[in-house]
Amino acid sequence: MLSNLATRDVETLIHPYTNLDAHRANGPLVLERGQGVHVYDTEGRPYIEGMAGLWCTALGYSNAELVEAAAAQMGRLPFSHLFSGRSHDPAIELAEVLKELMPIPTSKVFFTSSGSEANDTQVKLAWYYNNALGRRAKKKIIGRSRGYHGVTVATASLTGLQANHADWDLPLPGFLHTACPHHYRFAEAGESEEAFSARLADELEQMILREDPDTVAAFIAEPVMGAGGAIVPPRGYFQAIQTVLARYDVRFIADEVICGFGRLGTWFGSEALGMAPQTLSFAKAVTSGYVPLGGITVDEPLYAAMVDQSAKLGTFGHGTTYSGHPVACAVALKAIEIYRRDRIIEGAAEKAPHFQARLARLAEHDIVGEARGIGLIGGLEIVADKRTKAQYDPKAGVAARCVAFAQAEGLIVRFLTGDRVAVCPPLIITPDEIDALFDRLSRALDRTRDWIRSEGLGAAA
């Protein structure tokens, strides 16, 4: 029997990334408040928010300074836009601060309201840039299988997940996908991480050559794949990939929406993994998820082309109402102030070895094939046979069942494609809370193993 709130939810809301049929029977988990790394449902039951919301609440819940920053800006200038040359202090100051923080040469910052909008803008600017240079055939963009970059028509095309394409008539023409860099799942027998990386770089090069380098504009990648499975790239991967991109003048876009602002123990994931993109996208933790905000960096060659084109065409014909929203910018400024003052990024790096050690221990579990991460992010893969890496039938929903058991244990985590479970807590999590998180996840795995046995599940045929 669903509660009154749950019934009202079922009758009024469409939930993203949800089995809408099952939701009608099961209803939602209705959360009422949050504090620190915990959220509380309407019965007052606490949960460790092991996904930082959706990879975003880096500073945890109910941070009084972020709330105050939002309220103060609401009382001063609750809305203004950046169209037609208008501006305001929070957007200007935030752009200045972000330029200082960026790990790559940055001329300007363009604000959006989300990571999807940021990556959609990356697509449009890659096209715009090549038109400005007279390279009107250089438009194709390469993503990766299992990569995730958003849900607009363009960014869902960049995304390499079947659920984002099936019956959506996607991807659009001109969007390509190269191999997923998951060594555990896709390496050949005996293939080292370095050899796997070299092979994937060669496959990318062969794709570019087949398509014709004069038609390939850009390549986009997350430092660590998020929705595709919390997958850490193999050793040498980005170094090998970047050599290929440079050879054929293909712009490298880093999707830092999940990894940016401390997740890997560095300000940006690009720094941790040796990436040297021309541009990057950010969102989520820039405001600790408190207010929607995203954006991209604009390098000087791109900016020069944008200036020339807008002079020729009469305007720069792109933008959204909430680009550079003053409340969002004010909250982002306060969040960055807290990251710096309280050494949040350094603290994440200091806690990472303990987090990763607890994660790695889960690989010893009967049903876990891989447990790997970096910084304060990790993923594990549930398998039917640890030796052969055989998987369960996806229709069995084994990882989804594990996540449900975790919720029953007072932990929120997320199941992803390939029977993977992701963990991505707020960066403020303490060592004791890390232990509590993994203790609960371990018990959820025990319950999943027992359920598998009771159901008589075996490997997929």
pLDDT class for 461, splitting at 50, 70, 90? low
What's the mean pLDDT in 63-88? 97
Residues 347, 252: Cα–Cα separation, whole Å:
30
User: Residue 244 pLDDT > 80, yes or no?
Assistant: yes
* Closest residue by Cα to residue 428 from 348, 331, 355, 349: 348
* Closest residue by Cα to residue 426 from 29, 33, 31, 38: 38
Residues 104, 129: Cα–Cα separation, whole Å:
19
How many alpha carbons lie under 13 Å from residue 376 in its C-beta half-sphere? 36
Structural contact between residues 363 and 128, judged by C-beta atoms closer than 8 angstroms: no
Residues 311, 322: Cα–Cα separation, whole Å:
24
Structural contact between residues 367 and 452, judged by C-beta atoms closer than 8 angstroms: yes
CA 447 vs. chain centroid, Å, equals 28
The helix (H) or strand (E) run that includes residue 254 is strand 251-255
pTM of the model: 0.96
The helix (H) or strand (E) run that includes residue 110 is strand 108-112
Q: Note the pLDDT of residue 97.
A: 98
What's the mean pLDDT in 401-419? 97
Q: Note the pLDDT of residue 436.
A: 98
Structural contact between residues 379 and 421, judged by C-beta atoms closer than 8 angstroms: yes
User: Residue 138 pLDDT > 90, yes or no?
Assistant: yes
Q: Note the pLDDT of residue 175.
A: 98
User: Residue 54 pLDDT > 80, yes or no?
Assistant: yes
Q: Note the pLDDT of residue 3.
A: 81
Q: Note the pLDDT of residue 314.
A: 96
What's the mean pLDDT in 362-388? 98
- Reply yes or no: is the peptide bond before residue 431 cis, omega within 30 of 0: no
User: Residue 2 pLDDT > 90, yes or no?
Assistant: no
User: Residue 142 pLDDT > 80, yes or no?
Assistant: yes
Q: Note the pLDDT of residue 60.
A: 98
Task: For tokens 């998987």, name the residue.
Answer: 391
* Closest residue by Cα to residue 261 from 356, 376, 172: 376
* Closest residue by Cα to residue 205 from 170, 239, 244: 244
Q: What is the mean pLDDT of the chain?
A: 97
User: Residue 1 pLDDT > 80, yes or no?
Assistant: no
Amino acid at residue number 350? E
Classify 128 as helix, strand or coil. Answer: helix
Q: What is the per-residue burial (b if ≥16 Cβ within 10 Å, else e) of 351-360? A: bbeebbebbe
User: Residue 192 pLDDT > 90, yes or no?
Assistant: yes
Structural contact between residues 214 and 137, judged by C-beta atoms closer than 8 angstroms: yes
Q: What is the per-residue burial (b if ≥16 Cβ within 10 Å, else e) of 56-74? A: bbbbbbebeebeebbeebe
